[in-house]
Amino acid sequence: IDETLLTQAGEGVDKSDRIRGQISSFSKEGFATFDDISILAVSQAFKLIFSVNSFGLALSTATATFEVLPSVYTQVRLLTQPQNRPAGESLPAIQVEVVDDFFNRDVTASGVKVFLGVDNCCGFNEFEPSATTVDGMATFQAFGVTVSGTHVLVVRLYGRDDGDAKYSACVNDAGLLSQNMKLSERTRICTTRRQGRLESNAFLVSPGAINALQIFTYPEAVQTAGAPFATQPVVKILDSFGNLVVGEEVV
């Protein structure tokens, strides 16, 4: 295939796997027949190029240009990744796209709700922002993570409150029905959407600036002169979000 106008939507598909089916054929009675040809990437101007080399004579011919459109979306892909941040400081805007089985963006998918969580499900304090796609893309408003440590963002097409009603609506979606899809294919698409869970790269949230000291261990109320405390005092150093701050001297 001529890939000169290949769109970026097919980046998730290896070049060697962008065309499937029988890509070579021996001629019979002067005709070479190809079966089950399909293209996984999208472009407005693909060409199929056929060539033969016989006894040192190389010949080729090509089809007219044709367009390959994306299939319906089944999954989400992250376009931007989170970066290390101090606690509470906003992450960069997180942008995602909804893509088909071959990682082509479904540009017809507008109004699709995508959900973002931190670590397990909804993150801390049931935090679950959402964004709505326009032409297959969605951008989450900036937000910060306040708990220090290593985290991942989790992107899903189903929020914590979504259930069977949303799944049933998907299976009976007018857009899928208009494509004369069999029930088995609609079920596969909707199940993939429901079960999909994409994790970002891990990122580190470091503690913020010192905000408070808190006595963690108190000595007993009665002590003996010259004797070490049976229970030694321990003081916690905290930032404004309650994260422990390391490397600070307390006197």
Q: Is the pLDDT of residue 10 over 50?
A: no
The confidence score (pLDDT) of residue 17 equals 59
- Between these two residues, 46 and 227, which has the higher pLDDT value? 227
The pLDDT of 172-197, averaged and rounded, is 94
How many angstroms separate the CA atoms of 131 and 145, rounded? 18
| Cα radius of gyration rounded to whole Å, the chain | 28
Kindly tell me the burial class for residue 211, based on how many C-beta atoms sit within 10 Å of its own C-beta (0-12, 13-18, 19 or more).
middle
How many angstroms separate the CA atoms of 130 and 143, rounded? 12
pTM for this prediction: 0.77
Length of the chain in terms of residues written: 251
Residue 53's pLDDT band, with cuts at 50, 70 and 90, is confident
Q: What does the buried/exposed string (b/e) look like for 32-48 if buried means 16 or more CB atoms within 10 Å of the residue's CB? A: eeeeeeebbbbbeebeb
How many angstroms separate the CA atoms of 75 and 103, rounded? 8
